[in-house]
Structure 1
Amino acid sequence: MLAHLTDDLGVVLRRDLVAAGLDDNAIARRCRTGELTRLRQGVYVATAAYTAADASGRHLMLCRGVMRLYPADVALSHTSAALAYGAPAWQVPLDVAHVTGLEPQGTRTQARVRHHEGVCRVGDVSRREGHWITAPARTALDAASLLDRDAAVCVIDWFVESGHTTLAECRQQLLSRREWTDHLDLTMKLDHAREGSQSVAESRCHLLFSDHGLPRPLQQVEVRDERGWLVGIVDFAWPEHRVVLEFDGIEKYHRYRRPGESIEEMVLREKWREDRIREVTGWTIIRISWADLEHPARLVERLRRQLARSA
């Protein structure tokens, strides 16, 4: 019955349910029977859609409802805007939706909505899905201002690698907010951002190399055989040490998986690629995973030993 009232994310507002003839008691019954899930005051979602969504998707459902509720004097912003653009949700709090008022209203949090007060110029906002959203460079910095350093750098790296903005544009944006209290913190986070990081894992690797004084590797290095044919592209390489570092993660396998190819076929093809790289270059290949990043001291010691041995 409710399918025609929900949008493409499964979100529906109380006012739309009431207009369709459902009073608050009827809405409450549908919540009790599991047909609807309440996201916040005045915002509901079809439970089937909510159950099928991941944490990031559920946050975007909340944001959709909030933006439909509020008038045109707010813009989706900070981490909520970043997720709307498609940025990774690694270590991003998802409990509240973030909006910035286009008119001074003060900073407050109520009913799962964080209202930010800030100056929005013409170039700082754009229209998306019929609502205002902060522009990419502004969003990258606003999101970074709420996050710990590593998560902040991952978000900035994503915005740059995805082509939504550039590091130069982010730095220019930062200059325009020099008087803001987060200026020095954002300067430090932006200094750690790198072009070319294609995933959260690669951004975290860069931070690990920098934090522990490891030599800065080349990234996305093409390896070609004696005929000049491309054998593969490696995540990180220290040519002078004859060492390659590759990250194993499910997102990487999905990114390079060919149409119709099974995971098993993908793994076998990856093994053949690694064997060919080793055969062509004679370099040592080190593979790491998310678990290794959770134990940085052990990983750094492993890398130091291998770099020293190869040197």
Structure 2
Amino acid sequence: MEDIAGPFRASEAIAAGKISRGRVAGPSVERLFPDVHVLSDQVAGPADLAGRAAEAALYVEGAVIGGYAAAELLGASCGRRTAPVDLVVGRRRVRPRPGLRIRQDVLAPAEIEQVEGLLVTTALRTAWDLVRELDPIEGVVALDALARRGGFDPTELLATVESRPRSRGASRVPEAVARADRRSGSPPETRMRLGLVDHGVPPPVPQLEVCDGEGWFVGHVDLGWEEAKVAAEYQGDHHRTDRDQWMHDQARFAELAGAGWLVLPCTAQDLRFPRAFAKRVLAALAARKP
């Protein structure tokens, strides 16, 4: 008997002869939800949001994955990997379980797509759900990531507001749309942009293309102010701990400097306390004012 890859419904696997009842009850198989099991060495960890979503999808027949888990599966990761998995189950009453959030929303067929064999809410519907739920910063973070990956204009959410004005949290959507920019390359870049603008920095251009004095392409910067030739670049931990990434960054910064650009690095600490970073950016813009 071959091992089963990934989570499975025990009743179906036993009926198909893929596993015995004895083994299901044994130590090599872990029970996740009623009738949902997985081999013990394949259990998704708390930080594996996509893996936990695949496990949860078997709990309710026909359930649709939503929220941060849907964003993860759509390739628009934008929240905590340890976030609970949202299951959209329609009007059915389903007992909640640890790590799951049961939502009794009714989805239109156009709001559902299939990813790796799993039913998930589309990028636009996922954005509608998350923006209405999250705080003003994280709502824009989710909208940027989903609009970029899903290829839709954030303003498309305004039509949903008009058709569903009484939906909980709908009043949060227009502000998020006004602040969204799907050119943003990552959630930290969106947080950096919003933190700067909220502290008086003129709006930058996300993923700005930089050329040298002869018009040759140099690269893209996370955020750029073209007239002043100032850029802000988010530097996550891997930029420091990965030697190849660090060497790549140094060569890139040297090329930008050769083209007359000043690059200001932004760290996770700067995202938590954006005022000081905003002051540095404002000083650089003032010093390099054309």
Aligned to 1:292: 270
Aligned to 1:87: 76
Superposed CA deviations along residues 122-152 of structure 1, whole A, max 9, x for unmatched, are: 3222344555432221111112333333222
The aligned counterpart of 1:273 is 252
Q: Given the alignment of the two structures, is residue 308 of structure 1 paired with residue 281 of structure 2, yes or no?
A: no
SS in structure 2 of the partner of residue 165 of structure 1: coil
Matched with 1:101 is 89
Describe how 1:64-143 pairs up with structure 2 within 5 A: 64-72=54-62, 74-91=63-80, 94-95=83-84, 97-102=85-90, 104-105=91-92, 109-110=96-97, 112-143=99-130
1:125-204 mapped onto 2 (5 Å cutoff): 125-204=112-191
Deviations 1:76-107 (A, max 9, x none): 22223222212214336523x322234x3368
* SS of residue in 1 equivalent to 2:192: helix
Change (3 A) 1:131 1:180: same
Q: Are the aligned partners of 2:70 and 2:126 in contact in 1 as well (CA < 8 Å)?
A: yes
**TM-score of the aligned structures, taking structure 2 as reference length:** 0.83
Distance 1:28 1:189, change over 3 A: farther
- CA shift, 1:26, in A, is 4.5
Amino acid at match of 1:14: A
Q: Stretches of 4+ moved more than 6 A in 1?
A: none
Residue in structure 1 matched with residue 7 of structure 2 by the alignment? 11
Seen in structure 2, the aligned counterparts of structure 1 residues 209 and 108 have a Cα distance that, compared at 3 Å, is: farther
Compute the displacement of 1:240 (Å).
3.4
Q: CA deviation at 1:205?
A: 1.2
Over the aligned positions, Cα root-mean-square deviation in angstroms equals: 2.9
Structure 1: unaligned runs, 5 residues or longer: 254-262
Q: C-alpha offsets along residues 41-65 of structure 1, whole Å, 9 cap, x if unaligned?
A: 33233333336x571x3x3333223
Q: What letter matches 2:170 in structure 1?
A: H
AA matched with 1:86 = G
Q: 2:36 aligns with which of 37, 43, 50?
A: 43
Q: 1:269 to 1:121 in 2, by over 3 A?
A: closer
Q: Secondary structure at the match of 2:56?
A: helix
Cα gap change, 1:63 to 1:54, in 2 (>3 Å) = closer
Cα shift at 1:14: 2.8
Deviation at 1:193, TM superposition (A): 1.5
Q: Distance in 2 between matches of 1:106 and 1:16?
A: 23
1:13 is aligned with what amino acid?
R
Structure in which a larger fraction of residues adopt helix: 1
Query: CA 1:296/1:63 → structure 2, altered by over 3 Å: closer, same or farther?
Result: same
- Residue 238 (1) aligns with residue 235 (2): no
| Unaligned residue ranges in structure 2 (runs of 5+) | none
Question: Quick one: percent identity of the two aligned structures?
Answer: 23
- Relative distance call for 1:47 and 1:127 in structure 2 (3 A) is same
